[in-house]
Amino acid sequence: MRQIEKDPDFVDISTFPHVLIDLRYAGINNFMKTDLYGPIYGSKPKVFLHKDAASKLLKAVNLLQKIKPGWSFLVFDALRPRSVQWKMWEKVKDTPQRKYVANPAIGSPHNYGMAIDIGLTDGQHGELDMGTGFDSFAPIAEPRLEQKFLKMGKLTRRQVANRLLLRKVMTQAGFLPISHEWWHFNALPEPEIRKKYRIVE
């Protein structure tokens, strides 16, 4: 991470206004119950995105303030160096969770600093209820199934509205949602990321 701190292509988004950080792999509150980042992040983590993704996040911050003054984003993960992706892969490769983790040989958009895992807080009650937490691999976490779960009464109107608000501000700022994780957004289509950007090892 030291090189990244000096690299002008990467921006520490933990300094942005209305962006709170809850880096879930820098602790044990994650689906692997393992601190994957360890000492490279320290007690006050810096959280990086490529500058092309960071400028979109700033746009999203401004849009959110217009719609919901005082609300903040909550960032669960952003740039994830490939060395961390390998640790994650080693943990899951022989388990059913394997399908949720990108093979480091190919790389995840997170490894480029071009993806972010993000939720919302309303400034009063804390994290907004999205029906599941970050990194829930239950089908109910999948945006493509949320209308079905709404009809079944397993997601509430409020939970779906919270997800729609997050998607609205993120997509208006230029991010792309994915169909199976409500918290994950790419800054560009994946093939474009792989063509134009480089993996952070």
Per CB under 5 A, residues contacting Zn ion are 117, 184
Q: What is the DSSP letter of 32?
A: T
Give the residue nearest to Zn ion (CB): 184
| Residue closer to Zn ion, measured from CB, 100 or 150 | 100
- Reported residue count of the chain is 201
Answer whether 182's CB lies under 8 Å from 144's CB: no
Least distance between Zn ion and beta carbon 78 (Å): 9
| Residue closer to Zn ion, measured from CB, 61 or 141 | 141
| Residue closer to Zn ion, measured from CB, 46 or 184 | 184
Residue 195 tokens read as 């063509």
Least distance between Zn ion and beta carbon 2 (Å): 24
Least distance between Zn ion and beta carbon 150 (Å): 23
> Measuring CA to CA, which residue among 196, 191, 171 is closest to residue 51?
196
Report the alpha-carbon distance of residue 88 to residue 36 in Å, rounded.
7
Least distance between Zn ion and beta carbon 62 (Å): 23
| Residue closer to Zn ion, measured from CB, 18 or 184 | 184
Rounded to 5 degrees, φ, ψ at 74 are -125, 115
